[in-house]
Amino acid sequence: MADTHAKLTVNGKEYELPIIQGTLGRPVIDIAALQASGFWSYDPGFMVTAPVESKITYIDGGKGELLHRGYPIDQLANNAEYLEVAYALIHGDLPNSEQKADFFQKIREHSGVHDQLRKFFEGFRRDAHPMAIMVGVVGALSAFYHEHLDVSNEEDRELTAIRLIAKMPTLAAMSYKYSQGEPFMYPRNDFNYAENFLYMMFATPADVDYKTNDVITRAMDKIFTLHADHEQNASTSTVRLAGSTGANPYACIAAGIAALWGPSHGGANEAVLEMLDEIGSVENVPEFMEKVKSREVKLMGFGHRVYKNFDPRAQVMKETCDEVLAALGINDPKLELAMALEKIALEDPFFIERNLYPNVDFYSGIILKAIGIPTSMFTVIFSLARTSGWISHWLEMHSAPFKIGRPRQLYTGETRREFVKAEDRK
């Protein structure tokens, strides 16, 4: 609550603006009183505006700190399963043994999808981008699960959250299988969340003795955890804004997926692989890095807009990346190229002084490439993981009074003018 005030004088009149301090982070100035002054605030990109109050995720970019419900991200990624993290995002605390078993069982029960969805997929071209398919299919879920969609009902909201988290791996794998012309694989109750996703991605009906690789399964689970939530980013804000209208949650999550698909948001790990393609071979790395220094080209997967020192998720992902590459024994020129980039960035004073360390997208892209997942699926996997964060923010918004989002604007167009018929216009 506010215990101090900032004073603002506008046209000779003074206004008191409450200063509110959260449990962590910068204090905020409540500018609601500006309404009476006749002025609005102007903040392109909402860079210094906090439109919501949240208890879910906290980021300190200067310290390189990321907390989910107060838990440090490295502790969660190294010790908890993704679904435990999803539970904490939704409910506020990590589950005890009984809560964990119950939550995991509910996810298993809802991992299948309506059989009519198979026909829905057939409406897409085979060469459609998997993210385009995901936007359409997730948005259409309200047509298949139209019961229990009363957003004012807490039980309905929680059931929908379970359904979304449970069905996203199935839908993601189906979008891949469809693009490959392969038969869909249905989820298995004897596999955990990450195992099920990999099974549905890579198994075929002929694989009667399909076995999972523990190293790859753990890596995939960590990728899910490290991408589960990231505070009020563009896609999360999109979900909240859509949700503020009372739109059904499937439509809201589809809106989040569409926002995530933007190359400035969720396409970073895909951009890393594209950059490696452009470099071509290890021999070209030194020349490429010199071009980076002279600002002729961009270095993708290094540094972060939010984290000014280091990405706290990157160290966990680097260790996982090393484990995966060692376990698979892959001799891939592109992966060798990525390691050459990493070596220079970690040793060259130019990159060290500017805190241009590899971020989570750099390592996750390498891991997904090593596992055999095509770049077109990278952002799909991101959206799968981020669903738990999106739905947690949607649930948080609906658990308390909220207002429909209605940003203002600085209008710079024509002033009022009179209509003139076409024949009279010069």
Residue 12: exposure state from Cβ atoms within 10 A (0-12, 13-18, ≥19) = exposed
Locate 215 and state its tokens.
């190293």
Whether 208 and 68 have beta carbons less than 8 Å apart is answered as no
DSSP string, 15-55: EEEEEE--SSS--EE--TTHHHHT-----GGGTT------S
Distances (CA, A) of 126 to 10, 89, 181, 209: 60, 36, 7, 29
* Residues in a beta bridge with 9: 14
Strands 71-72 and 65-68, bridge-based pairing? antiparallel
| HEC profile of 169-192 | HHHHHHHHHHHHCCCCCCCCCCCC
CA distance 417 to 376: 49
Distances (CA, A) of 246 to 151, 270, 277, 334, 389: 7, 33, 44, 46, 19
Nearest to 235 by CA among 203, 213, 259: 259
CA distance 415 to 282: 58
Whether 181 and 204 have beta carbons less than 8 Å apart is answered as no
14 DSSP assignment: E
Q: Is 214 a catalytic residue?
A: no
CA distance 162 to 148: 12
Q: Is 304 a catalytic residue?
A: yes
329 DSSP assignment: T
Element (H, E) at 59: strand 57-60
> What residue type is 267 in one-letter code?
G
Out of 68, 227, 304, 393, the active site residue is: 304
Out of 221, 229, 311, 361, the active site residue is: 361
> What residue type is 375 in one-letter code?
T
Whether 334 and 236 have beta carbons less than 8 Å apart is answered as no
Nearest to 342 by CA among 351, 329, 332: 351
Catalytic residue numbers read 304, 361
